Amino acid sequence: MDFISRPVGALHGTAAVPGDKSISHRALMLGAVATGATRIQGFLDGADTNATLNALRAMGVTVDRAGAHDLTVHGRGLHGLSAPAAPLDLGNSGTSARLLAGLLAGQAFASELVGDASLMQRPMRRVVDPLRQMGADIECSPGGTLPLRIHGGRRLHGIDYVLPVASAQLKSALLLAGLYAEGSTILTEPGRSRDHTERMLADFGCPVHREGGRIRLQAVPLRGHPVAVPGDISSAAFLILAACLVPGADIRLENVGINPTRSAVLTILGDMGADISVRERASGQSEPAADIHVRHAPLHGIAIPEELVPVAIDEFPAILVAAAAAQGRTVLSGAAELRVKESDRIAAMASGLSALGIDVETRADGMRVTGGRLQGGTVDSYSDHRIAMAFAVAGAAADAPVRVRDCINVNTSFPGFVECTRRIGLNIEAVEHG
């Protein structure tokens, strides 16, 4: 499936984006190993989160659905999962693979994690190595990728570990393994990464203590807890981008998660001149949410502060399209992690922006974008959902239509993307390959 995006006039209206992918994954996993029921409202009914759901069902977890976005997970306790009959196929979901590796490291049974062609190439050694230090018997391919084979029945112990990079997936994998470890699991982050796992563990009765960059978990049994999932700010970023690009735009997005370890995209775009206002909602949840109002305003290039990179890592496809439409030069550094996402996002964004007439210079850990006039053309998404959506939105402000190749994976994080964008006036069409 391709997207064809055509230039539009002013954008107006109100929209709600699908539930947060990161929170949905974690609610399923913690609910599965808690005692009692966990009701999840606002669940993201996407390909990635359903990969986690199906894996848990394969290990004996019962999940009732009252609708696509309203689930009840019947927890089996920390030691209640059962051996799956076959390898757990996680599709394109790197979050599922890395977090489940931690959760499965302390089980009594053996398991194997596999995925689609893209996921089978993504690096896993950074998770495997510290899990081995905790006592897990886990192996990956010689190249450090899936399949992961986890041999159960090992006694885990806590470690005092310095993360080599600020990575929420690595941190979360080790915290989940820490639920099965003797003693404390202590992790030191080189920079702040998203903290959904720490917040949710506390909700489920297992507080994680933080002092500066050091966090400490002492395992206790989990209790089921209701989870209200706000809209995903990584998905909202594309609609915010649209309003930044199109003159006269004025849109509102309802109930978007604004966790401070996720909302740096708002800071970065604001520093570039975006007109964004945030009205926080009183939710009673540990995850803050807000309504976001965006009006078009001229953008200018900036040097993106490196300390914001880990907490905006998924939003850079949108941010870099904003840079392409800004006046002046935007410089991104310290973002080598973008090289090992669903695609090499530095290379993918540079290729697409160049195809649309933008001057781009890449480096190992980032890129330099000189703003200009977006032209029409054809770009490749490299089967990456966020690359696909970023360039689909770019077409709204281009001189001519933009065709984005291979967009089916948008369903991993933003099912209903085309319909949602049309509600605020974008003109994006999904077409079969021709």
- Active-site annotation, residues: 314
- Name, in order, each residue with C-beta under 8 angstroms of 245's C-beta and a sequence gap of 6 or more: 296, 321, 322, 325, 393, 394, 396, 397
Query: Is residue 209 within 8 Å of 18, Cβ to Cβ?
Result: no
Burial 132-150 (b: 16+ CB within 10 A, else e): eebbbebebeeeebbbbbb
Listed in sequence order, the DSSP H helices in 283-338 are 316-325
**Residue with structure tokens 């290379």?**
347
252's tokens: 């509102």
Of the candidates 126, 118, 163, 161, the one whose C-alpha atom is nearest the C-alpha of residue 144 is 126
Of the candidates 196, 261, 150, the one whose C-alpha atom is nearest the C-alpha of residue 25 is 196
Q: Which residues pair with 430 in a beta bridge?
A: 3
Q: Which residues pair with 67 in a beta bridge?
A: 70
**DSSP strand pairing (88-89 vs 111-114):** parallel
